[in-house]
Structure 1
Amino acid sequence: MDKRLDIHETYEFGGPLGVLGIMTFFPVLMYYLWICLWFYDGKLVHPTSTEDIKPFLLRMWNHICQDASPNLYAWKVYTGNFVFQLLLAQILPGYQQEGLPVPSLGYKTLMYNCNALSSLYVTLVTSATLHYFHIFRLTEIIDNYGHLMSVAMIYGFTVSLVTYLFAVMTGTQIRMSGNFLYDYFMGACLNPRIGKVDLKMWAEVRIPWVIVFFLAVSGGCKQYEQYGYVTPNMAFMILATGLYLNACGKGEECIPQTWDMYHEKWGFLVIFWNFAGVPFSYVYSVVYMASHDPSTYRFSTLTYVMMYSTLLTAYYIWDTAMAQKSRFKMQTQGITTFRKTFPQLPGCVVKNPTYIETAHGNRLLTSGWWAYSRKPASFFSKLFNYVADWTMSFMWGAIVGTTSIIPYFYSVFFIVVLIHRCGRDFERCSIKYGKDWERYCAVVKYKFIPGIY
C-alpha cells in the first residue's frame, strides 16, 4: 500500500489544464483584490459596459506596473528576510526531532533541527532595533505591499522551477506523471535540504508567517504615526498573527510528524503559496485598515470582547488538537519526553489515549479532540487548516465588519481547500489502511464538524 501511494495514478486539480489555470488565475486574483482594497475603497470593481472593458483592464494593468512593480526596495526587503531566515535556520541551535519513517526512503527517519522559536526572537529583536534607529522603518512595509507581493510571486515561480530542475537532474524526483506542467505544480522532490535545513519545513514556517505578522505590525506602526494610537481592530490582527507565528515556533517539532513532511512533495502548489499566497492574501483586513479611517470599522466594547474571546478559544482548540495527535505519534515511536515552550497549554498531551491498531502498523488516535472529529484542527499546515483554524480565519476578516467583503477571502478560500484536503486525506488513508480505516470511521463518525459533517 505504501508503494502504491508513491506512484502517480491519477491527476488532481483537474490535471495539466487545471493546474495551468490555477497558476494563472491566483496571481491575477491577488493583484485584483489588492487593487480593489487599496484604490477602490474595498469594492469589487468591474467594467460597467462592454465599452468599458478595455479601459478597465488598462487601469488594472497601470496599477500593477506603477504600484506593484518589483522595485529595488521590495527586492532588498524580501530577499533580506529570505536570506536572514535561512541563515538563522542554519546557525542557531535547536530542538532535535526525529521524523516519521519515510516509505520512499526505505522507511528511513530524518532528523529536523527545530530552531524556529529562537529564530523568531532574534528576528523580533533585530527588527525592533532597526526600526528604533531608523535604519529600516517597519511602517514602510505596508506602504510597499504591492511591490513586495510582486517580488514574492517571482520567488514562488522561480524557486519552484529551480527545485524541479534540480530534482530531475540529480535523479531524486518521485511520483512523477510525465507532464511538465503538472509535475512542476505538484513538485518533483520530497525532502530537499540545504545543509541541515529542511527547506519544506523551513518555508512552511519562516517565510509566510513572519511576513504576515510584520504586515500587521507595520499596519499598527502606520496607525500610530497617523493617529497617535493603534485601533483595537489592528491590535487584534497583531495578536492573531503573533499567536500564529509563535505557535509555529513553539510547536515546530510537531511538523515532522505530519503528512506534509513525509508525503507531500515540494512544488509550486506549496512553494508559491508559502512565499506569496499566504502572506499576501491572508491579511487583507490589515490592508483595508491601513488605507482607511478607523471610524469606518469601529465596534462596541462588547463586540471587541466577543471577538477577542472567540479568537483565543479557537486558538486553544487549534493549538492543542494537533499537539495531541503529534505527541501521540511520538509516543508510538517511543518518545515520551516532550519539548516545553511558551505557552504550554493544558490538554496538549492525551493521557492514556485510546486508539485503533492497524494491520499496517500505525495507530489511529480516538481520544482527546480526535474522538469528536477526524479533522478538528490542523497546526500551521499551509493550505490545510480545519475547524478551529477556519474560525480564526473568519475572525481575521470579521474584524473590519461589513465594510468590505475582500478581507473574508481567507476564510472563503479555506472552506474550498479544506473540503478538497479532507477528500485527499481520506482517500489516501483508505488506500493505506483498508478495513482498519472503516473501523476507525465507525468509531469517529464525523469528518470535519462534530454532529454535522
Structure 2
Amino acid sequence: MSGVRTRPHGAGEAGAGGWEPRMGQMTKMARTSDLEFGGPLGALVLVALLPCTVLYLLLACRTEAASVLNNPLPQLDPSQLWDPAALILVLAWFALQSVLYLLPLGKVTQGMPLWDGTRLSYRINGLHAVVITALLTAVGTACGLPLAHVHDCCVQLACVCILTSLALSVLLYARSLCVPEAALAPGGNSGNPIYDFFIGHELNPRIGNFDLKYFCELRPGLIGWLLINLAMLMKEWELQGSPSLAMLLVNAFQILYVFDALWHEEAVLTTMDIVNDGFGFMLAFGDLTWVPFTYSLQAHFLVSHPQELSPTGAVAIILLNALGYYIFRSANSQKNTFRRNPGDPTVAGLETIPTATGRQLLVSGWWSLVRHPNYLGDLIMALAWSLPCGLGHALPYFYVVYFTALLIHREARDEHLCRRKYGSAWSTYCGRVPYRIFPYLY
C-alpha cells in the first residue's frame, strides 16, 4: 500500500538544504500534470481497497492460522463491525488530543517556505501531549479503566476511524473548493475531483490557528498507536498471567520510535507531507486509521499467537533495533539541521554540491553512503519490530513488506522531484552517491 505516506519524520528530499527563494517567483499555480498512483482510477481503487485491507489484517490476526491467505470476512456479523460505544470512544479520543494540541505549552516555530513564499507558524507540544496522555492512562488504569477492552473492540474502533477519515476527507475537499489559489497544494491541483480528493486539494487547511494536517500527522493516530499496543499488552497479561518478552520488546521499540518523533517534532515541518502534499484522503486515512491499526499489528498478533523468545534472541533483536535507530536518528538529525541552517557548526564542514536554485546538496556524512540513509535505518527497525513474532507466520511481516514498498515509492518520487528541480546538479549528486537505500544493492 504505497499510497499512504504516513511516517512522520523520515521523508523528504535527499540531502537538500538551505533556503530557496520563492517569494514572488510564482504568481499562479499550474495544474498538476504528473499524476501518481495510476491517476483518478488508481485513486478510486485505493479509496476502496485501503479500508478493506485494514479490516482484513485485523480479522486475520484473530484467526488460528493468522494467514494472509485466509479470508475471515464471510464469518462476520454486523456487531463485529459497528458499536456505538466505539464511536463515542474515538470521538472522545480526538477531542482529548485536540485540547492537548491547543494548550499553550511548548514553543511556536515557523515552517519551511511554501510554494508561494509564505511560512506558517506551528506550536511544538506533541511531547507534552503524549506525556499527559500517558499520565491520564495510568490514572485511569489504576482506577479500573478496562484498557484491555480495546483489543476486544479493535475492529469496531477501526471501522469508526475509517468512516471518520472518509467524512473528514469529504469536508476537506468541499472546503478546498472555496479557498484562494495560494492555499492549494501543488500536487493536488489536477482538476480531477477524484484524484484531488485522494491526494489533497488544499495544502494546509486551518481553522484559526488549528492546523488540521499537522494535528493529524502527529497526534491522534501516532499516540493512538501506542495506546493500542499497551491495550494488547494488557490483554495478553489478562490471558496469560503476565506479558511476554516478545510483547514487551514490541511495545518498547515502538514507544521509542513515537517518542523520538515527538521529541524531534519540529523536523516534520521539513517533510514533503507538510511542505508539498495536500491534505486529502491519502493523509487523513493514513494518519487516523492506517497508522494506529496496522502499525500495531505485531502486538495484536502476539495476543492470540504468543511466542517464546530466548534471552539470546531478545538481545540480538535489541541490537538490531539499536543499529537501525542509530542510523535513522543520526541521518535525520544531520539532514534536518542542514535544511534549517546550513551554517550550523555541526554541519558547516560537510561537503556539498551547489545547485542553480541556491540550495546545496549534501554529499558527506551519512548522505555519502546512500541517498536515503534514514530509510535504511527505518527498514532495519521495521524488521526488528517483527522478529519477536517468530518466523512461523507471514502476517506480522506485512509491515516490513508494506514499508519497503512505501519507501521505494517515496524514493522514486523524491528522485523525480529533485531531478526536475536541481537538473545537472542532481545528476552530479547521483554520480557521487549511486546507491539509493541499500549500499551496494539498490
User: TM-score, normalised on structure 1?
Assistant: 0.86
Structure 1: how far apart are the matches of 2:422 and 2:383? 34
Structure 1: how far apart are the matches of 2:347 and 2:248? 33
Structure 1: how far apart are the matches of 2:427 and 2:260? 33
Question: Following TM superposition, by how much is the alpha carbon of 1:214 offset from its aligned partner in structure 2, in angstroms?
Answer: 1.1
Q: Is the 2:230–2:251 contact (alpha carbons within 8 Å) kept by the matching residues of 1?
A: yes
Say yes or no: does 1:190 pair with 2:203.
Answer: yes
- Number of the residue aligned with 1:312: 322
- Number of the residue aligned with 1:51: none
For residue 62 of structure 2, give the secondary structure of its aligned residue in structure 1. Answer: helix
Structure 2: how far apart are the matches of 1:368 and 1:5? 36
For residue 96 of structure 1, give the secondary structure of its aligned residue in structure 2. Answer: strand
Residue pairs, 1:163-242, within 5 angstroms = 163-171=172-180, 172-175=183-186, 176-242=189-255
Structure with more contact order per residue of length (Cα contacts < 8 Å, sep ≥ 6)? 2
For residue 170 of structure 1, give the secondary structure of its aligned residue in structure 2. Answer: coil
For residue 39 of structure 1, give the secondary structure of its aligned residue in structure 2. Answer: coil
Question: Following TM superposition, by how much is the alpha carbon of 1:283 offset from its aligned partner in structure 2, in angstroms?
Answer: 2.1
**Paired residues, what number?**
414
- Number of the residue aligned with 1:383: none
For residue 356 of structure 1, give the secondary structure of its aligned residue in structure 2. Answer: strand
Q: Deviations over 1:138-197 (max 9, x none)?
A: 211122110111011011111111111111123343442121111110111111123333
- Number of the residue aligned with 1:17: 41
Structure 2: how far apart are the matches of 1:6 and 1:261? 19
Say yes or no: does 1:280 pair with 2:277.
Answer: no
Greater shift in the superposed pair: 223-232 or 402-411: 223-232
Q: Which amino acid counterpart does residue 25 of structure 1 have in structure 2?
A: L
Residue pairs, 1:283-298, within 5 angstroms = 283-292=296-305, 294=306, 297-298=307-308
- Number of the residue aligned with 1:302: 312
Match of 1:358 among 341, 355, 360: 355
Structure 1: how far apart are the matches of 2:308 and 2:329? 29
Q: Deviations over 1:350-401 (max 9, x none)?
A: 4622212211011212222112111111xxxxxxxx2111222222222111
- Number of the residue aligned with 1:422: 411
Residue pairs, 1:4-403, within 5 angstroms = 7-46=31-70, 60-63=73-76, 65-69=78-82, 71-103=83-115, 106-134=116-144, 136-171=145-180, 172-175=183-186, 176-292=189-305, 294=306, 297-332=307-342, 336=344, 349-350=346-347, 352-377=349-374, 386-403=375-392
For residue 90 of structure 2, give the secondary structure of its aligned residue in structure 1. Answer: helix
What is the RMSD of the two structures over their aligned residues, measured on CA atoms?
2.1
Taking a change above 3 Å as real, the CA distance of residues 126 and 92 of structure 1, as seen in their structure-2 partners, is farther
Q: Deviations over 1:95-149 (max 9, x none)?
A: 222221112xx31222221100111111110111111112x32211122110111
Q: Deviations over 1:70-109 (max 9, x none)?
A: x122112211111111111111322222221112xx3122
Structure 2: how far apart are the matches of 1:421 and 1:177? 20
Structure 2: how far apart are the matches of 1:98 and 1:418? 27
For residue 108 of structure 2, give the secondary structure of its aligned residue in structure 1. Answer: strand
For residue 191 of structure 1, give the secondary structure of its aligned residue in structure 2. Answer: coil
Structure 1: how far apart are the matches of 2:369 and 2:421? 22
Q: Is the 2:247–2:302 contact (alpha carbons within 8 Å) kept by the matching residues of 1?
A: yes
- Number of the residue aligned with 1:52: none
Question: Following TM superposition, by how much is the alpha carbon of 1:201 offset from its aligned partner in structure 2, in angstroms?
Answer: 2.1
Structure 1: how far apart are the matches of 2:386 and 2:39? 32
Q: Which amino acid counterpart does residue 289 of structure 2 have in structure 1?
A: A
Structure 2: how far apart are the matches of 1:190 and 1:217? 34
Q: Deviations over 1:249-280 (max 9, x none)?
A: 10001111222211111111111011111111
For residue 426 of structure 1, give the secondary structure of its aligned residue in structure 2. Answer: helix
Q: Which amino acid counterpart does residue 404 of structure 1 have in structure 2?
A: H
Q: Which amino acid counterpart does residue 359 of structure 1 have in structure 2?
A: A
Structure 2: how far apart are the matches of 1:410 and 1:93? 34
Q: Is the 1:393–1:411 contact (alpha carbons within 8 Å) kept by the matching residues of 2?
A: yes
Q: Is the 1:350–1:367 contact (alpha carbons within 8 Å) kept by the matching residues of 2?
A: no
Structure 2: how far apart are the matches of 1:14 and 1:395? 32
Structure 2: how far apart are the matches of 1:174 and 1:419? 23
Deviation above 4 Å: which 4+ runs of structure 1?
Answer: 1-6
For residue 149 of structure 2, give the secondary structure of its aligned residue in structure 1. Answer: helix
Structure 1: how far apart are the matches of 2:269 and 2:67? 42
Question: Following TM superposition, by how much is the alpha carbon of 1:62 offset from its aligned partner in structure 2, in angstroms?
Answer: 4.6
Structure 1: how far apart are the matches of 2:355 and 2:202? 29
Structure 1: how far apart are the matches of 2:224 and 2:392? 25
Question: Following TM superposition, by how much is the alpha carbon of 1:306 offset from its aligned partner in structure 2, in angstroms?
Answer: 0.3
Structure 2: how far apart are the matches of 1:227 and 1:31? 26
Q: Is the 1:321–1:369 contact (alpha carbons within 8 Å) kept by the matching residues of 2?
A: yes
For residue 442 of structure 1, give the secondary structure of its aligned residue in structure 2. Answer: helix
Q: Which amino acid counterpart does residue 283 of structure 2 have in structure 1?
A: V
For residue 165 of structure 2, give the secondary structure of its aligned residue in structure 1. Answer: helix
Q: Is the 1:31–1:64 contact (alpha carbons within 8 Å) kept by the matching residues of 2?
A: no
